[in-house]
Amino acid sequence: MRKTLLLLAPLVLLGGCTWGINPDPGSSNIRTVWSGDVTGCRDLGKITVSVMSRVGPIDRNDIKVRDELQVQARNSALGMHADTIKPLGDPVDGSQPWEAYVCGNHQVGPSNSPTPAQSPGNQPLPQPPPQQGGGFQTYPAKGG
């Protein structure tokens, strides 16, 4: 029994690790576009990143793997002087392709020509400030 616990302890401890993947300074300003339109953005090229998705026979937590892939993609995009990244597919065996873009002030989203909301006096309502790419994102459900 004691030998089994000693053998399993490293696997349990490694399951919570982030494998030393940390955001580079400035990479939190890079936006992640999951399904939005990037028309009008300049394509800088493809980024393929990978992390360990398994520790021996045990799969790592899918959300941690996806978070680490996004951090690596942002770090790589920073070196390309990109301000936006978009996944090209779901992660497979710890690897995921991304595309890097420069969008500048271009509004990324389903519509390229947003209509500002109007107040009753036909004056534009104040708009919330644009969100920066900081923090972690939620991921779309698999298969959808």
Q: What single string gives the DSSP state of each residue in 125-143?
A: PPPPPPPPS-SPPP-PPTT
Separation of alpha carbons 125 and 74, rounded Å: 33
Res. 33 pLDDT band, cuts 50 70 90: very high
Q: What is the DSSP letter of 29?
A: G
Structure-block tokens of residue 122: 């036909």
Residue 39 counted as domain residue: yes
Domain for residue 68, yes or no? yes
Residue 23 lies in a domain: no
User: CA 7, CA 116: separation in Å to the nearest integer?
Assistant: 60
The answer to whether residue 133 sits within a structural domain is: no
Domain at 74, CATH number: 3.30.1660.10
Residue labelled with tokens 């030393």 = 20
Query: Is residue 19 assigned to a domain?
Result: no
Is residue 40, in this structure, part of any structural domain at all?
yes
At 106-115, the pLDDT tens digits run 666 654 333 3
- Separation of alpha carbons 139 and 137, rounded Å: 6
Residue 8 lies in a domain: no
Query: Do residues 73 and 96 lie in contact, with contact meaning Cβ atoms separated by under 8 Å?
Result: yes
d(CA 73, CA 85): 7
Pairing label, strands 95-102, 84-87: antiparallel
Question: How many structural domains compose the chain?
Answer: 1
More confident position, 15 or 23: 23
Which range of residues forms the domain containing residue 65? 32-106
CA distance 31 to 26: 11
Other beta carbons less than 10 A from residue 73's beta carbon: 25
pTM above 0.95, yes or no: no
**Whole-number Å distance between alpha carbons of 139 and 144:** 11
| 137 against 33, higher pLDDT | 33
| Structural domain includes residue 51 | yes
47-79 pLDDT per residue, tens = 999 999 999 999 999 999 999 999 999 999 999
